């Protein structure tokens, strides 16, 4: 058995004495330092004190199961590899494990050689990702990384500042996650940008797909907000009236009909009338499509 060249620490979370004994022996023989927790809550307590290279996580345990534990881990340690190891082999459990933040899934009984190979692979990948993040931080790039669900795995301080500014405006982190997930699935990998309007500064954040670093890790770059949002741009480029352009602009800001009415000092019924006339002109079927069209038009990107 090939030993690990550096002193790697692994946290094993399992309530089965037999499983713990077998895994502890295999890891110890490979030169790996082992930390043990008997349930998810104990694991979180351990992680308050020390950060291992990898976490081996059973699914079904008392007090706090592995799925809930993984979700909590991801809130504070987005980069640490989590390998689920469980007797649950149904597809629904595998999907649940990855949705909770797992990087891998091994079905018991555990084969020591296979486990060690996976630990080695995940530690190497995590190490490269951490080094890349440090390099980006040094270069002061507006870069962040997400998974296929739109969850932000890490970001440079520069990107984090801009994302926090957008979060504060929409007052909903989950909404940003949903926007990133939908954009990535539909347009992000095909060269289309995502525009996030900053209402306070009348600017747009432009998110661009940079590269896929791993199977479920996507590197994105934020273009600094420099584009002013002006309804005249919509009026001229789309051939719509000035009032329709104003309504469309605030629609792109995510405002409701009632909010638009208050801003433009008209009735909600009048706003709705403008939208009814506007949709056919720009080929939109609904509010979402119209808002997307408006933002893309401002950016000068063909849909």
Residue 236 has pLDDT above 90, yes or no: no
What does CATH list as the number for 9-130? 3.40.50.2300
Domains of the chain, by residue range, sit at 9-130, 140-223, 231-299
Which CATH class name applies to 231-299? mainly alpha
Residue 270 has pLDDT above 70, yes or no: yes
pLDDT in tens, 86-124: 888 888 999 999 988 898 999 988 899 999 999 998 888
Provide the pLDDT for residue 133. 62
pTM: 0.49
Domains 9-130 and 140-223 share a fold: no
Provide the pLDDT for residue 134. 61
Helices 17-29 and 112-139: crossing angle in degrees, nearest 10, is 70
Lowest mean pLDDT, pick from 2-6, 66-70, 177-181: 2-6
In CATH, which of 2.30.110.10, 3.30.450.20, 3.30.420.10, 3.40.1550.10 is domain 140-223? 3.30.450.20
Q: Provide the total of helices (H) and of strands (E) in the chain, helices listed first.
A: 12, 10
Q: For 124-139, what is the mean pLDDT?
A: 64
Q: In what order do the strands lie in the sheet with 33-37?
A: 33-37, 9-13, 54-57, 82-86, 104-107
Q: For 173-180, what is the mean pLDDT?
A: 83
Residue 138 has pLDDT above 60, yes or no: no
Question: What band does 43 get if pLDDT is binned at 50, 70 and 90?
Answer: very high
CA distances for 43 relative to 55, 115, 134, 143, 167, angstroms: 9, 20, 27, 31, 30
Q: For 204-216, what is the mean pLDDT?
A: 82
High-pLDDT (> 70) share of the chain, %: 84
Provide the pLDDT for residue 168. 80
Element (H, E) at 171: none
Residue with tokens 């600017």: 203
Residue 233 has pLDDT above 90, yes or no: no
Provide the pLDDT for residue 201. 57
244 contact partners, CB below 8 Å, separation of at least 6? 235, 274, 277, 278, 281
Q: For 1-18, what is the mean pLDDT?
A: 81
Structure tokens at 287: 């509010």
High-pLDDT (> 90) share of the chain, %: 32
Provide the pLDDT for residue 2. 55
Residue 302 has pLDDT above 50, yes or no: no
Q: What is the mean pLDDT of the chain?
A: 83
């Amino acid at each position: 058995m090939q030993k690990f060249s550096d002193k790697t620490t692994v946290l094993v979370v399992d309530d089965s004495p037999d499983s713990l004994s077998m895994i502890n022996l295999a890891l110890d023989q490979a030169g790996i330092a082992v930390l043990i927790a008997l349930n998810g809550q104990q694991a979180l307590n351990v992680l308050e004190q020390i950060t291992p290279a990898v976490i081996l996580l059973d699914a079904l345990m008392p007090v706090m199961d592995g799925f809930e534990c993984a979700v909590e881990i991801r809130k504070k340690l987005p980069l640490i590899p989590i390998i689920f190891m469980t007797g649950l082999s149904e597809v629904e459990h595998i999907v649940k494990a990855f949705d909770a933040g797992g990087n891998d899934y091994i079905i018991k009984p555990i084969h020591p050689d296979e486990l060690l190979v996976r630990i080695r692979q995940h530690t190497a990948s995590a190490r490269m990702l951490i080094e890349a993040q440090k390099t980006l931080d040094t270069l002061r790039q507006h870069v962040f990384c997400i998974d296929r669900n739109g969850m932000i795995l890490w970001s440079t301080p520069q990107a984090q500042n801009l994302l926090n500014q957008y979060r504060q405006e929409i007052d909903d982190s989950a909404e940003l996650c949903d926007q990133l997930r939908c954009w990535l699935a539909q347009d992000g990998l095909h060269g289309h940008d995502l525009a996030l309007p900053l209402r306070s500064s009348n600017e747009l954040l432009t998110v661009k797909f940079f590269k896929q670093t791993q199977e479920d890790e996507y590197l994105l770059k934020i273009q600094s907000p420099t584009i002013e949002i002006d309804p005249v741009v919509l009026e001229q480029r789309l051939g719509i009236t000035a009032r329709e352009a104003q309504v469309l602009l605030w629609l792109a800001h995510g405002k409701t009909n009632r909010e638009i009415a208050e801003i433009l000092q008209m009735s909600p019924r009048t706003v709705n009338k403008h939208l009814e006339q506007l949709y056919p002109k720009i080929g939109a079927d609904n509010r979402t499509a119209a808002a997307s069209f408006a933002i893309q038009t401002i950016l000068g990107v063909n849909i």
